[in-house]
Amino acid sequence: MSWWNALGWILLVPVAAGALYHLLCVAAMVRWRLRRPAPPPRRWPAVSVVKPVTGLEKNLRENLRSTVMQDYPEFEVIFSVQRRDDPALGLLYEVQREFGPDKVIVAVDEQRAGANGKINNMLGAMPYVRHPVLVISDSDVRLEPGYLKAIVAPLVADERLGYVCTPYKAACADRWFEKLELLSLNADFMPSVIFAYETGLSAFCLGASIALRTEMLEKIGGLAALADYLVEDYELGRRIRELGYGYAFVPPVIDTMVDLKTAAQWWRHQVYWDQNTRAARPVAFFLTLIIRMVPFALLAWMARGFDAAGSSLLASSVAWRLATAAFILGWGFNDREGVRALWLLPLRDLAGFASWLLSFVKGTTHWRGADFILTRDGRLLAKQSELGG
C-alpha cells in the first residue's frame, strides 16, 4: 500500500468522527428542546435593556421596536451610540418619540476605554441603567414579545446563576454569500453551542443576548475591564464563572439579521469568527479539525484516486451532513430559510475549513472597518495605522 493510499484510509478518521459528532448534535438538540422552562416568578424584577447601535443596519427599525414592545411589567431600553454624527441617531430619536423618554433612552458618548468598540459603546449607556437586571441585546437582533420574561425567569428562579443566554439564528439572507453566513451560524456554530451546553464539555457566554444582575458587573471589575478583548462576551462569562456562578442557555431562538454587502466582507467576517472562537477556546477550536466531515471526505476521495469507494464515501458524507443539518434547522430552530439554503452547505463547509486554517496564521483581525493585532490571550491591539502612526 502506497503512502498516498494509506492517507486515504487515515482521512476516514475525521469523516467517521464528523458523522458521529453531527448525530450527537441532533441528540443534544432534542434534549435541549425538551427541557422544561423555568417557572414564572411571582414578581418580575425591573430590567434595563442596553442595545448598542452603530450605523443604519438592515431592518434596524424593526429590531429597535421589537426591543421596546416586550410583554414585561417594568423595563427601560437604552440605545447607545458612540458618534454624534452616527446615521442611526435620527431613527433612535424617532423610536424614543414613539414610545416616550421614560421607556426609551438615547445615550451618545464618545469615550474609548479600549480597542473593543462594542464595550466602548455600552459604557456610554451604563450611567442610565437604573434597574437590578441588565439585558444586553445586539442591534442586529429582533426579539419576540416574550423574550424578556424567558431570559429573566431563570435568574429569578436560581440565585446561583450568574448569567442567562439565548440562542440566535441568522435571518434575512438575500445574496448567496449571505446564505453562506447564515449556514455558518445556524448549521455549524449554534449546534456546536447547544452540544457544548448539553454535554458540559465547554462553557460559553453569548453577548448578543445575555441577562445578568447589574451588580455582577461590579464583581468582575466593570465593563471597562473587558475593553481590550476580542471576545468580550466569553471573557465576561469566564469571570462570572470564576466567582462560582453557573449559567443557563434557554429558548427562545431569536433572529439576527445578516447584512453583508460583498463576498469579500463575508470572507473577512468568516475569518474573524474563527479567530474569535480560537481566541476564546483555543484547544476546543483546534480539536474541531477532526469533525470536519465533508472536507476530509473530499480529500479522501482525491487520495484514493477518485475511485468508486471514495465517490461513495463523499456522497454519503454530504448526504449525512445535509440530513442532520436539515433536522437541526427545521425541527430544532424552525429555520425554513436555512433549510432552503442547505444546497450551499457543502460549499460553506469547505470555506469553513479554509478559514479555520487561516485563523492560525493570520495575526490581525478586521472588525468594524478597522484592523487590529490579535494577541495570544485574545486581546486586541490597534495597528499603528489605526492610531495615526
Encode pLDDT of 160-215 as tens digits.
999 999 999 999 999 999 999 999 999 999 999 999 999 998 899 999 999 999 99
Other beta carbons less than 10 A from residue 200's beta carbon: 7
Q: What is the pLDDT of residue 272?
A: 82
Q: Are 86 and 57 in contact (CB under 8 A)?
A: no
- CA 388 – CA 277 distance, rounded (Å): 29
pLDDT at 120 over 60: yes
pLDDT at 383: 55
Nearest to 179, CA basis, from 255, 260, 252? 260
Q: In the predicted model, what is the mean pLDDT of the chain? A: 90
**pLDDT of res. 360:** 79
Q: Considering the entire predicted model, what is its pTM?
A: 0.87
Q: Retrieve residue 138's grid coordinates.
A: 445586539
Q: Which of 100, 136, 101 is nearest to 119 (CA)?
A: 136
Question: Looking at this protein, which amino acid is placed at residue 125?
Answer: A
What pLDDT is attached to residue 177?
97
Q: What is the pLDDT of residue 368?
A: 55
Query: From residue 148, how far is each of 116, 144, 163, 169 by CA, in Å?
Result: 26, 9, 13, 17
Domains of the chain, each with CATH number or no CATH: 3-31+268-382 (no CATH), 39-262 (3.90.550.10)
CB 373 within 8 A of CB 364: yes
Average pLDDT value for residue range 74-93: 95
Q: How confident is the model at residue 307 (pLDDT cuts 50, 70, 90)?
A: confident
Give the pLDDT confidence score for residue 222 in this predicted structure.
92
Give the integer Cα–Cα distance in Å for 352 and 346: 10
Which are the contacts of 146, defined by CB distance < 8 A and separation ≥ 6?
70, 71, 252
Q: Give the residue among 329, 22, 351 at the shortest CA–CA distance from 171.
A: 329
Q: What is the pLDDT of residue 353?
A: 93
* Out of 4-8, 69-73, 350-354, least confident range: 4-8
Residue 365: the pLDDT is: 58
One-letter amino acid for residue 163 of the chain: Y
Query: CB 249: neighbour CB atoms within 10 A?
Result: 20
